[in-house]
Structure 1
Amino acid sequence: MKKLLILIVTLFVAQISLAQSPMSVVNKTAVIPFENVENQPIFPGGNNEFIKFVGKNFRVPEVEDLRGVLKVTFVIETNGSISDVKVVNDLGHGTAEEIKRVLSLSPKWTAGDHEGKPARVLFTLPITIRN
């Protein structure tokens, strides 16, 4: 009985250790939330300049009583470019297409890094619209 228990435990430990992906593979493609990355990506001029950039370029649709929060996520790549833009909360009337257009105009960011290596960073941007 004791030998059977030791065999089962050994097989269980071996299965767990062999099933894990090497960290080097995971780190190259993993996306880290903005709040969790050690050194966050920086828009040229800082966060205030990013807010100004979006405000200057985003055209609010001329729809009466359009109100709400447009929420978008995107990845800041290791080269500072923006990719994987996803609208989480669309207000309709072309707001999703407009924020995608604005983000496509963005200059490259200074990339973030985590544990001394360049990191892909997930950024969430809420935009309050009151028309």
Structure 2
Amino acid sequence: MRSFIASMIVLSSLCCSLHAQQLDPNSSPKRVIYATTEQQPEFPGGLPKLKEYIQQNLHYPPAAQKAMKEGTVFLHFIVSEQGALEDVHVRMPINPDLDAEALRLIKTMPKWTPGKIAGKPVACRYNLPIKFAL
């Protein structure tokens, strides 16, 4: 039984924009990574299934729970052309235990539907905040 409410906030991603496509600052001629795409990457089943996945798979770390640590961990990662999640990093750390759990959660996610430009799958940077609340 969980004694906490774990929820996520999907604010927006750099990939959500319908404006002109922009390259990610880490893009290179060897690996093109977009910051914006025409069609954003998507968790299988969309946002409702992403929320469900997070609620079912996020485990509040006992040490953080005992210390009454709360907050939002901001992560970013690349959704590859094949939908694999790569280069997962914490952008705004809040607590080592919460950061580690958010990273674990993202790294265990199934493949996503990749972002697309002109109907072609492309690698895209995605930002996702994970909220921990007691």
Partner of 2:74: 71
- Read off the aligned partner of 2:31 and give its amino acid letter: T
| Equivalent in the alignment of 1:129 | 132
User: In structure 2, the residue corresponding to 1:48 is in which secondary structure?
Assistant: helix
Aligned partner of 2:103 in structure 1 is 100
SS of match in other structure, 2:66: coil
Contact 1:82 1:108 in 2 (8 A): yes
Question: What are the ranges of 5 or more consecutive residues in structure 2 without an aligned counterpart?
Answer: 1-26
Instruction: From the CA coordinates, give the structure whose radius of gyration is larger.
Output: 1
CA deviation profile, 1:88-107 (whole Å, cap 9, x unmatched): 12221412221221112211
The structure whose residues are more often helix, as a share, is 1
How many residue pairs align between the two structures? Answer: 105
Deviation at 1:117, TM superposition (A): 3.0
CA distance in 1, matches of 2:41, 2:128: 14
State the 1:63 CA deviation.
2.9
Contact 2:102 2:130 in 1 (8 A): no
Structure 1 unpaired stretches of 5+? 1-24
TM-score normalised to structure 1 length: 0.70
Query: After superposition, what is the alpha-carbon deviation per residue over 1:18-38, rounded to whole angstroms, capped at 9, x for unaligned?
Result: xxxxxxx957622222xx210
RMSD after superposition: 2.1
> What's the offset of the Cα at 1:87?
0.3
| Structure 2 Cα separation of the partners of residues 128 and 97 of structure 1 | 13
Equivalent residue in structure 2 for 1:31, among 30, 33, 54: 33
CA distance in 2, matches of 1:26, 1:105: 27
What is the CA deviation profile of residues 62-94 of structure 1, one whole-angstrom value per residue up to 9, with x for unaligned ones? 233212211100110000110000101222141
Give the equivalent residue in structure 1 for 2:47: 47
SS of residue in 2 equivalent to 1:29 = coil
Match of 1:56 in 2: 56
Is the Cα–Cα contact under 8 Å of residues 42 and 115 in structure 2 kept in the other structure?
yes
- How far off is 1:47 after superposition? 1.2
- Partners of 1:94 and 1:76 in 2: CA distance: 25
Q: Distance in 1 between matches of 2:88 and 2:103?
A: 7
TM score, norm. by length of structure 2:
0.68
